[in-house]
Chains A and B, each alone.
Chain A
Amino acid sequence: MGKIVYVLPDGEQVIEAREGESLMQIAVQAGVSAIEGECGGEMSCATCHVWIEDDWAAKLRRPSQDELDLLEADDHYTDESRLGCQIKYSSAIDGIVAKIPG
């Protein structure tokens, strides 16, 4: 068990995380309502959009072309954009900070 820090426009939520679950699943199950995960991780909705700063991003697998294609069409796209459903939690990223656009 580790932690993920979700940073919302109105404050932080620190959520317990289990190995192997995605940042989207963890947020949705806990009711971090700014992450909806409408498509259940099928790369169809981008409602799991998060911003990950470089230091953390360096520890992650790089995004696939599909992930980038979906993100680029989103209004909040920046260099730090990722899909929460494509990032699996592991102890190597314990404490990762995911900012929620908006």
Chain B
Amino acid sequence: MSHYDIVVVGAGHAGTQTVFALTAGGFTGSIALIGDEISIPYERPPLTKGYLADSMLSDELAFRAEAWWAGSTVERHLGTAVVAVDADAHTVTTEDGGTISYGTLVWSAGGEARRLPTPGADLNGVHVVRKLSDAEHVKRLVATTRKAVVIGGGYIGLETAASLRKLGIEVTVVEALERLLQRVTGEDIAAYIKAKHEGEGVEFLLGTGVSEILGEDGHVTGVQLASGQVLPADLVIVGIGLIPNVRQLADAGAEIGNGVLVDKFCRTTLPDVYAIGDCASFESDWVPDDRLRLESVQNANDQAKAVANTLLGKPQPYDALPWFWSHQYDDRLQTAGVLTGYDSAVLRGDPATGKFSVVYMRGDTVAAVDAINNVKDYAQAKSLIGRTVAADDSRLADSAVPLKAFVTESQLA
């Protein structure tokens, strides 16, 4: 049985960045990075954007060139899933029956894209977009696709819709809720993005459930809605959320909520087991109910750094400011802060100009800022989040007053 000082499970964003931060920080112990995907660790955000729509190649997605990996002492076990964790013995079991022992385990297994529970969901041509292999499949199909149906009006669904439109495919988006991006942004932004897509020729069916995916000879031919209406389709993209990959930790006895529960140092309730990235529900000062599970690059990266620092003997609680971006057509959406639990939203600028932002307030504290094609507001917002602002709404709504002006008259909440 092999032993490593640190075993990282999941070679995605968070796991890979942990390894980078450890090596950059001069870690001298042994490290194993175990991942169930066969490909060299890669970035996910372009999968629905540049990789799908443009000429971007899969080797451009790699975090680091093969030469870097070859020159490092990190042992990669790719194409290997971890099926069990024994927290007392400090071992993990891989799907081929092997056992690896660890001093410290970092769990960064992300999540699985949620599948449709409806009949027909396993037909050819029905896809989620979570992994490079998913995106490769979709990319191969687009050449012969005329009509696509995207199920789910979140970021993944909408980014995919934009990329498919760019390729000249007819796209209909079906969303069960009454509006787009319900979980992640406010109404002004959702309305702007919807109008943008409609201008590009995307059709929306909101407040509509899917009852069945129809097919012929094993390949999808359409989507049947709860109303009975049938949308013809030769490609169906399902973007309805993510289920955290934490079963192995749950089986090992870790406390689980929405993801695996960790404290401010990303420690699970199991000894010497940390969890980071999309699968971790952490204590956060940025939200009132104090737990967050974020699906973002920022969170994966910053939690990776936090854990690496702890393992390098420089522990500091994780409290980085959350931020996020999305890209659809030529529009850049950027968010600073977290939108959960805000009371009011102040619009800055005119959406009709294609450049504006929205400030979300929790009481008189700035909770988050969404910016559309407005890098200035986004950049300046980063120092305003979490501060109590004395200004009334009308000044905050005046886009001629830069957000940084409010930093000087504010105080940390």
Contact = CB atoms under 8 A, between A and B. Distances in A.
Interface of A: 25, 28-31, 33, 36, 38-40, 42-46, 65-66, 69-70, 72-74
B301 A36 contact: yes
Contacts of A44: 323, 325, 332, 334, 378
B383 A73 contact: yes
A73 B407 CA distance: 12
A45 B323 CA distance: 9
A30 B378 contact: no
A33 B64 CA distance: 11
Interface string B274-298: 0000000000000000000000011
Contact of B62 (A29, A38, A65): A29
Contact of A31 (B68, B323, B334, B380): B68
A29 B23 CA distance: 15
A36 B20 CA distance: 10
A11 to B, nearest CB: 14
B298 A38 contact: yes
B376 interface: yes
Contacts of B63: 28
A69 B301 contact: no
Contacts of B332: 42-44
A45 B67 CA distance: 26
Contacts of A30: 64-65, 67-68
A79 B145 CA distance: 49
B404 to A, nearest CB: 8
Contact of B375 (A25, A29, A40, A66): A66
B45 interface: yes
Given A66-B375, A70-B375, 10 more contacts: A25-B60, A28-B63, A29-B65, A29-B68, A31-B64, A36-B301, A42-B45, A44-B334, A73-B382, A73-B404
B301 A73 contact: no
B327 interface: yes
Contact residues on B (Cβ < 8 Å of other chain), bracket: 20 to 34
Interface of B: 20, 23-24, 43, 45-46, 60, 62-65, 67-68, 297-298, 301, 323, 325, 327, 332, 334, 375-376, 378-380, 382-383, 404
Contacts of A73: 379-380, 382-383, 404
B378 to A, nearest CB: 7
Of A25, A28, A31, A33, the most chain B CB neighbours within 10 A belong to A31
B24 A33 contact: yes
Contacts, number: 59
Contact of B379 (A25, A31, A40, A70): A70
A29 B62 CA distance: 8
Contacts of B46: 40
20 contacts: A29-B65, A30-B65, A30-B67, A33-B24, A36-B301, A38-B298, A38-B301, A39-B297, A39-B325, A40-B45, A40-B46, A40-B297, A43-B332, A44-B334, A45-B298, A65-B375, A66-B375, A70-B378, A73-B404, A74-B379
Contacts of A45: 298, 323
B379 A69 contact: yes
Q: 9 closest Cβ contacts across the A-B interface? A: A73-B379, A33-B24, A69-B376, A44-B325, A66-B375, A29-B65, A31-B68, A69-B375, A70-B379
Contacts of B325: 39, 42, 44
B20 A31 contact: yes
Contacts of A25: 60
B294 to A, nearest CB: 14
Given A40-B43, A40-B45, A69-B376, A29 B301 contact: no
Contacts of A69: 375-376, 379
B48 to A, nearest CB: 13
A56 to B, nearest CB: 24
A75 B110 CA distance: 32
A28 to B, nearest CB: 7
A38 B376 CA distance: 19
A49 to B, nearest CB: 12
B64 A29 contact: yes
Contacts of B327: 42
Contacts of A65: 375-376
Nearest to B377: A69
A33 B26 CA distance: 12
A66 B376 CA distance: 7
